[in-house]
Structure formats: structure tokens, C-alpha cells
Amino acid sequence: MDRSLATFDVPLLNRNEPYIPDAGRTDEDDNAMVYEAAATLRERTHISRDDFHTIYSQTMQYFTIQEKYMFKQFQMGDKEPEEFFKEAEKYLKKTFPAMRNDWDFKKMMNRLNLAMFGYDVIQPLIDNPNTSDIKICGPYDIRVRVKGKAYQSDATFMDESDLFRFVEGLAYRNKVNIFSYPIITFTDAHDPAYIMRFTVSSPMVCAVDYPYLHIRKVPKTKPTFDDLIKVGMLNEKVKMYLIDRAKASVGIVFAGPPGSGKSTALNAFIEYIPKTRETLVIQENDELHTKQSGFMFKHVTHGFHGEPAVSLEDLAKMALVEGCNEFVIGEVKGGEMRYAMTLVNAGGHAAITVHSTNAYETLDKMADLVKYGSSYSFEEARRMLKTFDTIVYMEGYKIREILECTGYEDGQYKYVNIYRYDPNEDLQSAEEEAEAAFAETPAEKEEENDGFFECGDSSEGDMSGWDFSDEQDSDS
């Protein structure tokens, strides 16, 4: 609606006109889109789904309650997984006659392996290369972000106690005392493909009786710019521009809302920082990484293990005396911004990420952060931040806009518009993919049931040394 028609005497909604929404709600706004993941865990078994889950649940209760000390030893790595498989086999075949069927026994062992040494029901979400974030809001409410868009997953834990068991296992595995702190963050590198940044909110600060979890995935083999072109984050010209700016820019900032792909883009970008520079990377968790020489990587500490607490700002202070001339900050949140600003104004270089709502407001957001704990005025900070000459704004896992700052006059930044995302790029790409897919459509195959139930969760885990036969039991 036209806000210019509103007056003091007749406010907008008091006008004798129907309200016309600005945003235009869609079905996606009112009904959560479902991202299917649970189906990838299911395999055929002779026993029913209910029987499979009953046996699985009782077995996990045995190890997490009756044999809790043994459970802790397995999670902390004090005992090898092979010992667990022996104990599980002994318990299953002694307690459940149905587990004498070799096929179902193998599927149950796979499921137990996933729960004990993997990431249980969220493993398919972790394994999918298109997912970036997983949020566990409850045992039956698991959300996932795919290419910047949020979905509700069909993966669920069995109940609250099953969720607590999962969280407790994470605590043992990473040697952190999750429930002693209101909120705790840590990285978990046990998955072969990804580093996970966990943020766990304890029930002491939650409105529910169980913890909330947020998980950010970071590939151990990080995507290159060419990989990011394939998923639509940028195009070839933007890639070449960013490679050039790795040397030419004094300060570059990747800005955008949470989950927009800023850290992923920065992780690819740092591979092109000239090898003639000495680079210091500071970050909350170990997400940015490279095998190049000349890089030092540091992360904050929270004092969760009795060690001194060290913030990003504390780490940033030392950047000025450690001989670095390239300063990378994984995510600027506070006073560390002024040290990055000081470095680039002293002849150094910087590359950072920051939360922002659009490209043009990014430097002002950075000026606010400079003021944290400093004597700089907002205007002084704005003037000095003109040295951050490249702004890459991202949303929805795409680079949406690129600006170059060429100066600061009369209280205003001077910008050159370098790039703006054109949705027609995606349309053209989608048409090309559709044509390729149509040309290569495989013949459809029908799957036979063969007398099996589609039930029993399974995922092939690392059970090296164990040879469970794939042959079907003749008694089926």
C-alpha cells in the first residue's frame, strides 16, 4: 500500500480501503516444506518396522543405561568399535530370537553402528552435499537448510530420551560438558567428510525440557570456486574477478544474512591470497582452512575445560605484532573489527565476513562494530573503513551484488557497481540442465518386494573386520 497516503488524522489502516499486503504470502510461508531424508536409512528386513525399532530401542537402552560406563568408553574412544560389535552381537542373539536371522542381524548392526559411531538419524542430512545447516528443535522437529532455504526434515528421533542420548554421546565424543553451560559451541571432526560446528543450548535456558542443537557443516575437502559455480553461487566472470581481488583489494568483505554462504565463499577465496603475504586467520571455530604455507590459524577458547577464555578481539590484538600483512576473520562480531581496520589502514590487507542486510549498509554495520569498546566515533569509523574497497553481498547461497568503494566524501561512500545477480542466469542454466537430463533419461526399473518389509533403519558404517553375510535366510 502507498504509505504516502497516511496522515496523522487518517493513519494508513484507518483509510476506507482494503489492506493490500506488501510481501504476498505463499504456501511455503504457511506450510513447512518437507525435505525427505529418513527413506535413505530404511532397508528391507524380515521383521516388521515396529519389531525392528523395539529391538533397536531396547538394545540402545541396555548400552546407555545398564552399561552406561561402557557406552562412555566407546564414545570417548577408550574402547575400539570392534569391542562394541562383539558385545552387541552377544546381547542381540541372546535376547532376541529374531536376530538369529543373518540378514536382519546385519541391518540391526548397521543401525547400531550409526547411532554409536555416526550421527544417528541426521546422518543422511550430513551426507547430502547440498545441506549447510541442521537445526534440531525437538525429537520430532529437525530442520535443514538446503542452498539457503529452510526445510522441515522427515528424520526424527524416537523420543526425548533418544535425543538426550544422542546429545550425551556428542558430549562424551568431544570431551565437553554440555549440560554445565547455558550455551556451548564446539567443533566435531569425527565425520570423514565434514567438520561440524555444534551450538547446543542447554535445557536450563530453553523453554522445553530438552536441548536445542544447531549444526553448521564445513567440508573437509572444501569446495573450490569451480565447485561453487556448479551449485550456482557465482559465475565464471565473478570467479575471475574475485581471484583478481585476492591480490588487488586492500580489504574485502563477504556480507549477508546467516547461512548465505559467506564462509564457504571466503574459504574458497583464501586459496588465491598471494603466497608472498603472511596470513593470520582467526575464527570462532575451525571452519576456514588451507594447506598453503604462510598461514597461521587461531580459534577462540571459552574456558569450558578450565583453560583461559580467549575472544576474537583478544586474538585480533596480536595480529598487529605478529608480522602478518593479511588478516582473515571468519566472522566479525565485535571489537576485533577495529583491529582489522587498523591493519588495512597501516598498509596491510584483510578479508572478513560479517552479517548484513544489503551491500550498501555493510560498511555502516562494520562501523558499529568498530565502536565496540573503542573511542572512535561512528563518523570516524566510517571514514577509515573506506579502505575496505570490495563488498560481496550474498543471500540464499548466491552472490547477489558486488560493490567497490572508491572513497568517502561529505559523509557518503562512493561506490562503483561491479555486479548484480540476474535471475535469468538460473533460468538459462536450468533449461540447459533439463535438456541434458531429457537426453539421458534412464529406463525405469521396478523393484520387487521379495517378501521383505520396507523397514529397519540402516546405514553402511565402518565395521571393518566384521563379515556379515548379505545372503537371505532360507527361513524367511
With helix as H, strand as E and coil as C, how does the chain read? CCHHHCCCCCCHHHCCCCCCCCCCCCHHHHCCCEECCHHHHEEEECCCHHHHHHHHHHHHHHHHHHCHHHHHHHHHCCCCHHHHHHHHHHHHHHHCHHHHCHHHHHHHHHHHHHHHHCCHHHHHHHHCCCEEEEEEEECCEEEEEECCEEEEECCCCCCHHHHHHHHHHHHHHHCCCHHHCCEEEEEECCCCCEEEEEEEECCCCCCCCCCEEEEEEEECCCCCHHHHHHCCCCCHHHHHHHHHHHHHCCEEEEEECCCCCHHHHHHHHHHHCCCCCCEEEEECCCCCCCCCCCEEEEECECCCCCCCCECHHHHHHHHCCCCCCEEEECCCCCCHHHHHHHHHCCCCEEEEEEECCCHHHHHHHHHHHHCCCCCCCHHHHHHHHHHCCEEEEEECCEEEEEEEEEEEECCEEEEEEEEECCCHHHHHHHHHHHHHHHHCCCCCCCCCCCCCEEEEECCCCCCCCCCCCCCCCCCC
pLDDT digits (tens, 9 = 90+) for 11-70: 989 999 888 888 877 777 787 778 777 776 777 888 998 999 999 999 999 999 999 999
Backbone angles phi, psi at 136, to 5 degrees: -100, 105
Task: Report the pLDDT value the prediction gives residue 434, as an integer from 0 to 100.
Answer: 57
Residue with cell 529437525: 142
Tell me how far apart the alpha carbons of residues 316 and 409 are, in angstroms, rounded to a whole number.
29
CB 111 within 8 A of CB 56: yes
Q: What is the largest CA-CA distance in the chain?
A: 86
The arithmetic mean of pLDDT across residues 259-281, rounded, is 93
The arithmetic mean of pLDDT across residues 71-78, rounded, is 91
The arithmetic mean of pLDDT across residues 324-331, rounded, is 92
Tell me how far apart the alpha carbons of residues 96 and 44 are, in angstroms, rounded to a whole number.
18
In a 13 Å sphere around the CA of 294, the CA atoms on its Cβ side amount to: 17
The arithmetic mean of pLDDT across residues 415-431, rounded, is 81
CB 457 within 8 A of CB 47: no
In single-letter form, the type of residue at position 459 comes to S
Q: Which CATH architecture has domain 225-425?
A: 3-Layer(aba) Sandwich (3.40)
30-221 belongs to which CATH class?
alpha beta
Tell me how far apart the alpha carbons of residues 290 and 220 are, in angstroms, rounded to a whole number.
10
Tell me how far apart the alpha carbons of residues 329 and 319 are, in angstroms, rounded to a whole number.
11
pLDDT digits (tens, 9 = 90+) for 97-115: 999 899 999 999 999 999 9
CB 445 within 8 A of CB 29: no
Residue 292 has pLDDT above 60, yes or no: yes
Label residue 465 exposed, middle or buried (CB < 10 Å: 0-12, 13-18, 19+): exposed
Residue 473 has pLDDT above 70, yes or no: no
Task: Report the pLDDT value the prediction gives residue 19, as an integer from 0 to 100.
Answer: 87
CB 121 within 8 A of CB 158: no
Residue extents of the structural domains in the chain: 30-221, 225-425
**What are 401's three cell numbers?**
551484488
Strands 183-188 and 42-45: unpaired
Residue 443 has pLDDT above 50, yes or no: no
CB 127 within 8 A of CB 94: no
What Cα–Cα distance (Å) separates residue 301 from each residue in 60, 186, 315?
34, 10, 10
**What are 182's three cell numbers?**
547455558
Stretch among 111-115, 295-299, 448-452 having the lowest mean pLDDT: 448-452
pLDDT digits (tens, 9 = 90+) for 137-191: 999 999 999 877 889 999 999 999 999 999 999 989 988 888 888 988 888 888 9
Residue with cell 562480531: 333
CB 373 within 8 A of CB 381: no
Task: Report the pLDDT value the prediction gives residue 432, as an integer from 0 to 100.
Answer: 63
Tell me how far apart the alpha carbons of residues 412 and 423 are, in angstroms, rounded to a whole number.
30
283-289-291 Cα angle (round to 5): 145
Tell me how far apart the alpha carbons of residues 158 and 269 are, in angstroms, rounded to a whole number.
42
Tell me how far apart the alpha carbons of residues 355 and 104 are, in angstroms, rounded to a whole number.
49
What Cα–Cα distance (Å) separates residue 32 from each residue in 211, 214, 445?
22, 18, 31
